[in-house]
Amino acid sequence: MLAELVSRGDTVVLSGAGLSTESGIPDYRGPTGRRRAGQPMTYQAFTGDAEARRRYWARSHAGWRHIAGAAPNAGHRVVAELERRGLVGGIITQNVDGLHAAAGAHQVIELHGALDRVVCLSCRARSARTELDRRLRAANPGWEAAPGRVNPDGDAVLDDERVAAFQVVGCPRCGGLLKPDVVFFGENVPRARVDECFALVAGAGLLLVLGSSLTVRSGYRFVQRAAALGVPVAIVNQGATRGDGDAVLTLDAPLGAALTGLLAELDGAASPAR
């Protein structure tokens, strides 16, 4: 049934952290996320507490290599291929890892931003994370840390001693506070970005949710909008989701295998009968 729905075209994909677990990036609430300890950094703590910022940047600096070294998996590649074939007209991703684009997808809205960019909270200048990584290495000669675990947002678990030894750098242009260009907990997604996503959903023939529990309203609102507009919703995820009651189809399965099977089914349906 999923292949039949996707074959009609005009599919909009809504992807979550579960799509990236097969690339070695753990999710928040799925099978790998249940082993995750601690709470993500909030915007309020980051902007209001210098020690919280030091802790964030030390842990993020250690974890950045893990995120930057991740490669797209079969699920990302299938989504990019469906876009190439004209069956997927847009991708809304809750992920900040950049793996949809790395797989070759073009029509991607990064709902929560991306870890490979940095923004200054004073002058709003944006720069590449690679440049910040270079500056942090220069400011912390000899500082090394072997993280025990890396969380979905690149946050690595470090001991207090390594955190205390870490030196943070400011904006090279104005000296202001630097923040990854992602939406923290307690921070709002820019309204224009949300409206762009709503417009995509309104024009969709199918909203296909991939690897999201939809626990957070940030993603679930698009399922609610689709259901209200009569746009069918299909969900592929490991485990139950908040949107299961709104879906015409749910599939509890590993994403890579499920999407590879979907592509094979579409190819089989397109092959001439012998």
Q: Please tell me whether 197 is known to bind a ligand.
A: no
Q: Is 76 a catalytic residue?
A: no
**Could you tell me the sign of the dihedral formed by the alpha carbons of 205, 211, 215, 218, in that order?**
negative
Q: Please tell me whether 123 is known to bind a ligand.
A: yes
- Distance separating the N- and C-terminal Cα atoms of the chain: 23
Residue 128 structure tokens: 């590449």
Q: Please tell me whether 203 is known to bind a ligand.
A: no
- Write down the catalytic residue from 61, 76, 100, 112: 112
Q: Please tell me whether 213 is known to bind a ligand.
A: yes
Which residues touch 274 (CB under 8 Å, ≥6 apart)? none
> At CA 81, angle to CA 75 and CA 86, rounded to 5?
130
Q: Please tell me whether 167 is known to bind a ligand.
A: no
Q: Please tell me whether 60 is known to bind a ligand.
A: no
Q: Burial code of 110-140, b = ≥16 C-beta within 10 A, e = fewer?
A: bbbbbbbbbbbeeeeeebebeebbebbeeeb
Q: Please tell me whether 248 is known to bind a ligand.
A: no
Q: Please tell me whether 238 is known to bind a ligand.
A: yes
For the annotated catalytic residues, the residue numbers are: 112
Q: Which residues contribute to the annotated binding site for Zn(2+)? A: 120, 123, 171, 174
Q: Which residues contribute to the annotated binding site? A: 94-97, 120, 123, 171, 174, 211-213, 237-239, 255
Q: Which residues contribute to the annotated binding site for NAD(+)? A: 94-97, 211-213, 237-239, 255
